[in-house]
Structure 1
Amino acid sequence: MRTRTTTATATAAAALTTAVALLLTGCGGGSDSDDSGKDEIAGADTGASASASPSPSPSASEDGVDRPEIKLPKDIENVFEGGSTGDAKKDAVLADNERRVNSIDEAIVVDAEKHPALEFYSKDDALLSAATYIKSFYDNDRSFTGKTRYYEREVTFAKDGSATVTYCMDSTDTYPKDRKTGKVDRSVKASPNDYVFYNTRLEKNTEGVWQTTSVSSTEAAKRCM
């Protein structure tokens, strides 16, 4: 299983360098998302890019915003529980929170020249910490596969117009994957660290997108177990 904390770091200069490198080169430096499966070995799970398909995230055109398409491979499943709150403003915040989560996963598992959705839904400390986190996968030649569950998602609004989204993540059904061979290590056992509580801050930009600006997280969160 994977722990996916993306807390912002204090080393802003180093993180900024990492973020810029990530956004310009897509971490892996692949030519496009259709070529990454060429080195797969017989019997291995299919590569992320080769089986990429549109993620089940909210429609990119339902609110009129010109959004970058997010594609996740078939072996990646993100389940966002809770559905509609009945409040259009809260639902819009949750939708962009969901898209941000998917954009981070796309940047990890899909080898492409660019990952425009990452910068579209994250900025400031949240973008820097996400870039550092994503780069760690490439540095270790690993990816992941499986299902991740997001639940107990709540939205609150501040007087300055920003929003806070808190939620739990359960990654007990995900497994490490070797980026080069596509082999999945299913021997890894679930642990309390697979349950993470997130507290995120979002701001609405001029395009009408709720961008995440900061993230804090707690691993082995009892409230999520």
Structure 2
Amino acid sequence: MNRRPALLAAVVLTTVAALSLSACGGGDKTSKDSDKIAGADVGQGTTASPSSNPSHPAGRPKIVFATGAKNIFEDQKTGDAKRDAVLADNAQRIDSVDDAIFKGSVNTNALSFYSANGALDSARTFVKGYVDDNRTWTGTTRYFDRTVTLKDDGTATVVYCSDESKSFLRNRKTGKVEKTPTTSESYVLYNTKLVKDPQGVWQTTNVISKRGADQCQP
């Protein structure tokens, strides 16, 4: 399955030559029928539910997911407080993009809180594609093999995989779910750069991705 609209694949992420891809592995080769997943989008007067990870840390923008949609983040703890903080903000950034999709807005507080520079521009382009197509998504997306590298210049990188085999595009107006089979394209490799802002938030500033990457296949 591929819950990302094909027309967005070329514009969703900013290419950063300074980042190098590293290996990921593992995954879930099964997909389930999502017809039984109920609920609609935030902003449409329907019930919403939070993501599976803490979605409202103290003093930060609230992130709310549509009912029936969930992100699952593996590898949350490394045993190192700084690396764990980077991973936490990486997860919040991912959630903030989906929160914007559910709200149908490219100008949410959470989106600009967790993304900056090229990553913010590409996130807004990505969200706008969903809104223009009257699409959202439903189901569960799993993020796994997340690895943090702390750089000598004070920045960090997070390399990770996503498994979209159990999440599906959904028409915002009709609620119809676009069921598609699981293929190699259902798995995506991401490499992100993060910079700590003056408030202590690890903002994502650049992202590259590779859909169908061998490193992320089950």
TM-score range, shorter chain: 0.7 to 0.9
Read off the aligned partner of 2:49 and give its amino acid letter. Answer: S
Partner of 2:168: 175
Tell me, in whole angstroms, the C-alpha distance in 2 between the residues paired with 1:216 and 1:112: 23
1:13-48 superposed Cα distances (whole Å, 9 cap, x missing partner): xxxxxxxxxxxxxxxxxxxxxxxxxxxxxx994312
Matched ranges for 1:27-42 at <5 A: none
Partner of 1:154: 147
Pairwise CA RMSD of aligned residues? 2.2
Equivalent position to 2:156, from 149, 158, 163: 163
Equivalent position to 2:187, from 187, 191, 195: 195
Residue 100 of structure 1 aligns to a residue whose secondary structure is helix
Tell me, in whole angstroms, the C-alpha distance in 2 between the residues paired with 1:112 and 1:203: 24
TM-score in terms of structure 1 length: 0.78
Read off the aligned partner of 2:185 and give its amino acid letter. Answer: N
Matched ranges for 1:43-82 at <5 A: 45-49=38-42, 50-58=46-54, 60-61=56-57, 66-82=59-75
Percent identity reads 44
The alpha-carbon deviation at position 111 of structure 1 amounts to 3.6
Residue 176 of structure 2 aligns to a residue whose secondary structure is coil
Equivalent position to 2:87, from 90, 94, 100: 94
Read off the aligned partner of 1:131 and give its amino acid letter. Answer: R
Confirm or deny: 8 A CA contact 2:39 2:67 kept in the other structure.
Answer: no
Unpaired segments ≥5 residues, structure 2:
17-35
Tell me, in whole angstroms, the C-alpha distance in 2 between the residues paired with 1:60 and 1:86: 22
Tell me, in whole angstroms, the C-alpha distance in 1 between the residues paired with 2:198 and 2:89: 14
TM-score in terms of structure 2 length: 0.80
Residue 175 of structure 1 aligns to a residue whose secondary structure is strand
Structure with the bigger percentage of helix:
1
Tell me, in whole angstroms, the C-alpha distance in 1 between the residues paired with 2:90 and 2:118: 15
Cα separation, partners in 2 of 1:217 and 1:45, compared to 1, 3 Å: same
Give the length in aligned residue pairs: 189
Residue 203 of structure 1 aligns to a residue whose secondary structure is strand
